[in-house]
Each structure stands twice: as C-alpha cells, then as structure tokens.
Amino acid sequence: MENRRPLILISNDDGVTAKGINELVRFLRPLGDIVVMAPDSPRSGSGCALTTTNPVRYQLVREEEGLTVYQCSGTPTDCVKLARNVALKRKPDLVVGGINHGDNSATNVHYSGTMGVVIEGCLNGIPSIGFSLCDHDNDADFEPAGPYIRKIAAMTLEKGLPPLTCLNVNFPNTPELKGVKVCEQAKGAWTREWEPCPRPGDPNCYWLTGVFSDSEPENEKNDHWALSHGYVAITPTTVDVTAYSFVDELKKRCLDL
Amino acid sequence: MENRRPLILISNDDGVTAKGINELVRFLRPLGDIVVMAPDSPRSGSGCALTTTNPVRYQLVREEEGLTVYQCSGTPTDCVKLARNVALKRKPDLVVGGINHGDNSATNVHYSGTMGVVIEGCLNGIPSIGFSLCDHDNDADFEPAGPYIRKIAAMTLEKGLPPLTCLNVNFPNTPELKGVKVCEQAKGAWTREWEPCPRPGDPNCYWLTGVFSDSEPENEKNDHWALSHGYVAITPTTVDVTAYSFVDELKKRCLDL
C-alpha cells in the first residue's frame, strides 16, 4: 500500500549555501520529498573522507512542505551516513550529490566529495547519482542542466540501478548541450600540481592546483572527450574496485610467496 | 645503464610517528632507498581527500644513508602528490601505504587514507601497494607480517603491476598466519555507525563508529572471509571505476532522454 512520494536525499561538497545544491533542490522538487544534509562549509576534494578525530554535529536550517534542510559539521560522506542513520525516518529512494561547481569526470571521481556522497549512497544499496558542472564559478549557470537532471533522476527512481552501481553525470560549461553520451572514465593524471607560496621561515609551502593530462584525448568513449565536445557525460560507476582481470595472474605470482 | 637501488616512497594515514609506518620502513629497507612523506598527525579515514582550502607544507624530519623522512601538513594523497612532484628528484619505483593500524578490506577501501596513498601512486603509473593490519592498537605487533610484506614488495618491484591496478593487502590479527589468499573485495555495509555524545545546547552530536555487516560472510573468495580465517588477504584493486557491465543497458535507457 505504498502511496507516498519518493524520498530524495541530497548532499554536496561545496556546502549547504552553494548555488549548485540549491539549484539541484529546485530541479528535483517535482519528483519527491527532499531532505538536504550538506556540509556547513566548502569541502571540495573530500573524496570518501570520514571525520574520525572529532564528533560530528548537524542542525536544522529550514523546513517547509516537501523540503527539509540540515547542515552538518562533517564531510559529504558523513552527511549521508548521518542522514541515513540518524536524521531520516526511512531509507531514501534516491541519493543525489551536487550540483558540483567543477568537473568530476575522469580520475576526478576519486577525489570528488560529490562522488563521495554518491558512493556512500550506493554502498548502502540506494540508487545514487552525482551531478557536476564544468564551471567553478560561484554563480555558474546551472539552468541548461536542469531538464537533463530531472529526467535522469526520474529514470533512476523508476528503473533503479544494478547493485554496486551508481552514476557520475558531468555537464560541459555550455548553454548548447548536444545531448547525452554514456561514457567510460577517462584515464590520465594531474600534472603541475603545486604552486609555491613560500614565506620567510616556511619555504616548503604549496597550494594544490594542476592541469589534467588525458592519456587518450581522442578516445570517443571517454567522459572527458564527451565533455570537451559539448555532450552530457554519464559514466556508470562501480563501488566494487576488485581488479578481476588480474586475479588469475596474481594467484600464479603468489605461488612463490 | 641503470645501476641504482629502487626508490620506494612510503606514506600512511596514521601519521609519521605511528608504529606501523616505522615498522614498514624497517621491513622494506633491504629492498631500496626509502623516502617517507607522511602526515604530521593522524588522518585515518581520509580516503583520497585533498587539501584545497589551505596551503600544504612539508619539512625534513630525518635523513640518513638510504632513508629520508619528511612530515607534511596535508592528507595522505597530498603527501604522495607533494613527494612525487616536489620533494623527489626522480619517479619512485614503488609507492607503499601503511602499515595501517586497522582493517582496510571490504568496502573500507573507499574510506582508507592508506589506500588513498596507493590509489594516488597507481593513478601516476607507479606500482603501488597498501598494507594494513586488523589491529587498531598503537603498539600492535607487526612482526608476523614482516616477511610477507618484504616478499610482496620485492615481487612487485620485480614484476610490476598491470596499468590502473594496485594491491590492497590486509593481515589478520594473529601471530599464526596461514599463508596468502588472492581475494575479491567483500561486499556489505557499515551499520550502527553513530554513537550519540549530546551535551547541553548541542543535542545532535555524534561520534562515528560502527559494525561491518558482510553481505556474503561465507563467500570464500572475499577478503573479509580470508582475514577471519587467518589468511593474508591480497585484493587486486583497480582505479578504473567504470561499471562496464552496465554500459549497454544504460545506453538503451538513455535513448528516452
């Protein structure tokens, strides 16, 4: 006799006041009841980090029909864990991270707090999606992404996702989106990652920065390619990181141990 | 005309003074020149987190023949990035994380700062291994793990690892190790994760804790099973998290978008 609206848990890594998460709430409100549990300050690059050396706090920010907003002192992953196990009375039907101010395609998936939200939802057996826009601006324009976000979320609410599988969706920074491409994670590495900021008595001081070097820039299967050609990149992502293709060879090697 | 000793970069998430990392240095010194770049304080549960809101600093702690030790204000991932791109004069032949005080098998791979070290090495094309012992005690006994660690590291220096593939090696907390098992990542989820620590004016305050619930406790292929039966669990791990098996089905679903 299920007759209630879907429950959608939203978090991010840019913090509860970021434009991206508030636009996401606006886009998804027609689909269900929304609970936001998001960091009280920016937490970019959190990956799946947990808070282990301090207690974690949360508090109600706002409550209205179909929308409850909490802020939390912890990481994006803490936010999902705390919402799921403490603040929410039932299991969410969907966990959504974002909309991130910045690209989470390619190897960025490992560093992304937005994808930390999504991985945590997925590990808990909840269909989970991360949305990111390739624009770091505080006032980035999320409007072109809106219709896609609503459709991808509705499709996922309706059809679910396979076990251990979530979605990493990235939008290029263009008002003219060419449509959706299902992609593979681009391979490559960050280069030129440290900008010196020395001062007297503290010579070894650096800001993290960097340039992503794509190892296969012409590979049309990759999310990085799709983004640079104006497509919405949807990369299905697994939380089972076993390297199955290496198991047999490794077993042979380990006979010598 | 390569005639120098291998260069081994070591980091961890328990911090530069932890017993585990110092035991790891002792075990690996016969294999090459060692550089340690490790956090200046405990960073458990860092995952692949980066430091984005502050600059990152490092300083020399100790230098002797074949061993250089730095401490760093950043995360485990920052440590590898800073060593690789700033402190080291050449690319390491091996990156090693650990020895972690605590279990990094199963889904812990996502939260682990030790595996953050390893994933960063792997993303940079360097053979990389994480070692963890299922004992959180500050004075845990790493001695039984020593011979295995040295052999697994030597094997990896000699044979390398496939692209995008690293090793997650966990030791059960027993002096009587039954040998090595090549494993798959156990599936499951953490439960009972929050311990309330309310105080006046701050009712929604919690410490992270939890009990891991293995969804297939009798699956002999899994690392969690191997550990609970006294084996050293070696789980080959990939940094390509594309869910390839869902690509075709997702393409069909996306035709409706």
The reported pLDDT for the residue numbered B233 is: 98
Cβ atoms A96, A153 nearer than 8 A: yes
Chain B residues whose CB is inside 8 A of the A194 CB are: 56, 81-82, 85-86
Beta pairing class for A7-11 and A33-39: parallel
Q: Out of A47, A55, A193, whose CB is closest to B197?
A: A55
Confidence of residue A8 (pLDDT cuts 50, 70, 90): very high
Cβ atoms B253, A162 nearer than 8 A: no
Chain A residues whose CB is inside 8 A of the B239 CB are: 107, 110, 241
Query: Which residue of chain A has the CA closest to B122?
Result: A189
* Per-residue model confidence as pLDDT tens digits over B202-248: 889 999 999 999 999 999 999 999 999 999 999 999 999 999 999 99
Chain B residues whose CB is inside 8 A of the A192 CB are: 85
The reported pLDDT for the residue numbered B198 is: 86
Q: What percent of chain B has pLDDT over 70?
A: 99
The reported pLDDT for the residue numbered B1 is: 47
The reported pLDDT for the residue numbered A3 is: 62
Cβ atoms B50, B78 nearer than 8 A: yes
Chain A residues whose CB is inside 8 A of the B240 CB are: 184-185, 187
pLDDT at A117 over 60: yes
Q: What percent of chain A has pLDDT over 70?
A: 99
Confidence of residue A1 (pLDDT cuts 50, 70, 90): very low
Alpha helices in B133-222 (DSSP H): 146-159
The reported pLDDT for the residue numbered A201 is: 86
The secondary structure of residue B83, as a DSSP letter, is I
Cβ atoms A93, A52 nearer than 8 A: no
pLDDT at A52 over 60: yes
The reported pLDDT for the residue numbered B3 is: 62
The reported pLDDT for the residue numbered B2 is: 56
The reported pLDDT for the residue numbered A226 is: 98
Which stretches of chain B score pLDDT less than 50?
A: 1
Is B242 close to A256, i.e. CB distance below 8 A? no
Query: Which residue of chain A has the CA closest to B81?
Result: A193
Cβ atoms B80, B8 nearer than 8 A: no
pLDDT at A181 over 90: yes
* Per-residue model confidence as pLDDT tens digits over A53-104: 999 999 999 999 999 999 999 999 999 999 999 999 999 999 999 999 999 9
